[in-house]
């Protein structure tokens, strides 16, 4: 056991995160047979099996689960030690791949990218803007910006800030349909929903109301929903980003509180000490809209 290769442990963690030998081999650009040999050697050195392998993927046994969690922490410690030496010798450089939801990309990130790029000229950015859920390792993404708690024990989720939500409609729509005075009156209106977005839950003093009204439009994109508000199609709950809310729209029920939605920077534990990842996360932590003048 004293001769266990640290690289074998790193390959084991990558295979678990990728979900299968095939996907890990593609990600690492190495033969599947090479990975299999090193995993077998690791298990032989440990004196026990860690996983079952099949065409559908890999399945950790109880010892494998425990070893995986400890291995992640160990690799993080090793990476931190390496980076502590390199930090005085290197500046952030190389490719940084990010995945960002459309509303966060267009409502927040795009306004700060130029500053980041001027500050770190040796970093190249590849930014994927869409709303589908991703596997960071499988898709080679360093950082994902996502609304709501990822609820994934394998990743680090750094909270950047809370996003305020509001209820909006155009003047033309309200002139036609009337102005709701309470959340209950929303039932008589055309509602534009983000189907993977926040609940329509309102609170005022000691009262609490949950609304599931007439669904005029379902979408997973706040930008599309906002556009339809501008087309006088109904009422929508939207993030209060400056470039998303038109000044001629009416904010409805402002006295009723809507829970804010947290925005997180998400990355794998063993990537948290990488200079490029750390530089972007630290940069974004300074860009809370509430702190901007």
- For residues 137 and 154, give the distance between their C-alpha atoms in angstroms, rounded to a whole number: 11
Query: Bridge-partner residues for 263, per DSSP?
Result: 147, 161
The CATH number for 165-259, chosen from 3.40.190.290, 3.90.1300.10, 3.40.50.970, 3.30.420.40, is 3.40.190.290
Q: In the CATH hierarchy, which fold is given to the domain comprising 6-86? A: Arc Repressor Mutant, subunit A (1.10.10)
pLDDT score of 85: 67
Q: Looking at the predicted structure, is the pLDDT value of residue 130 above 90?
A: no
Q: In the CATH hierarchy, which fold is given to the domain comprising 94-161+262-291? A: D-Maltodextrin-Binding Protein; domain 2 (3.40.190)
List the beta strands (DSSP E) in 3-129: 51-54, 57-60, 94-100, 123-129
Claim: this prediction has a pTM higher than 0.75: no
pLDDT score of 87: 62
Report the length, in residues, of the chain: 293
Q: Looking at the predicted structure, is the pLDDT value of residue 6 above 90?
A: no
Q: Looking at the predicted structure, is the pLDDT value of residue 149 above 50?
A: yes
Looking at residue 158, the DSSP 8-state letter turns out to be E
Tokens of 92: 């952030």
Give the CA distances from residue 108 to residues 60, 133, 167, 287, 289, in Å, rounded to whole numbers and listed in that order: 39, 19, 19, 9, 9
pLDDT tens digit string along 92-102? Answer: 888 999 999 88
Give the CA distances from residue 100 to residues 7, 58, 127, 158, 164, in Å, rounded to whole numbers and listed in that order: 31, 29, 7, 15, 18
Q: What is the mean pLDDT of residues 251-267?
A: 93
Coil vs helix vs strand at 137? coil
Band (pLDDT 50/70/90 cuts) for residue 275 is: confident
- For residues 259 and 272, give the distance between their C-alpha atoms in angstroms, rounded to a whole number: 29
């Amino acid at each position: 056991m004293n001769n266990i290769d640290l690289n074998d442990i790193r390959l084991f963690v990558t295979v678990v995160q990728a979900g299968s030998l095939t996907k890990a081999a593609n990600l690492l650009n190495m033969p599947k047979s090479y990975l299999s040999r090193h995993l077998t050697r690791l298990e032989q050195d440990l004196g026990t099996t860690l996983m079952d392998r099949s065409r559908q993927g890999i399945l950790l046994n109880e010892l494998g689960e425990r070893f995986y969690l400890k291995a992640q922490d160990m690799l993080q410690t090793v990476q931190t030690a390496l980076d502590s030496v390199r930090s005085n010798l290197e500046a952030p450089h190389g490719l940084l791949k990010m995945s960002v939801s459309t509303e966060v990309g267009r409502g927040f990130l795009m306004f700060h990218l130029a500053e980041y790029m001027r500050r770190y000229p040796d970093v190249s950015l590849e930014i994927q803007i869409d709303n589908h859920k991703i596997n960071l390792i499988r898709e080679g993404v360093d950082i994902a910006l996502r609304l709501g708690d990822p609820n994934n024990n394998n990743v680090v989720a750094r909270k950047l800030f809370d996003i305020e939500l509001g209820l909006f409609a155009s003047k033309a729509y309200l002139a036609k349909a009337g102005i709701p005075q309470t959340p209950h009156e929303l039932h008589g209106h055309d509602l534009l929903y983000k189907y993977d977005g926040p609940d329509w839950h309102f609170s005022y003093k000691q009262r609490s109301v949950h609304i599931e009204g007439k669904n005029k439009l379902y979408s997973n994109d706040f930008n599309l929903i906002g556009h339809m508000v501008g087309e006088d199609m109904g009422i929508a709950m939207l993030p209060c980003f400056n470039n998303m809310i038109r000044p001629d729209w009416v904010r409805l029920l402002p006295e009723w509180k809507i829970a804010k939605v947290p925005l997180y920077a998400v990355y794998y534990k063993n990537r948290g000490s990488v200079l490029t990842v750390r530089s972007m996360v630290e940069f974004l932590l300074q860009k809370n809209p509430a702190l901007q003048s």
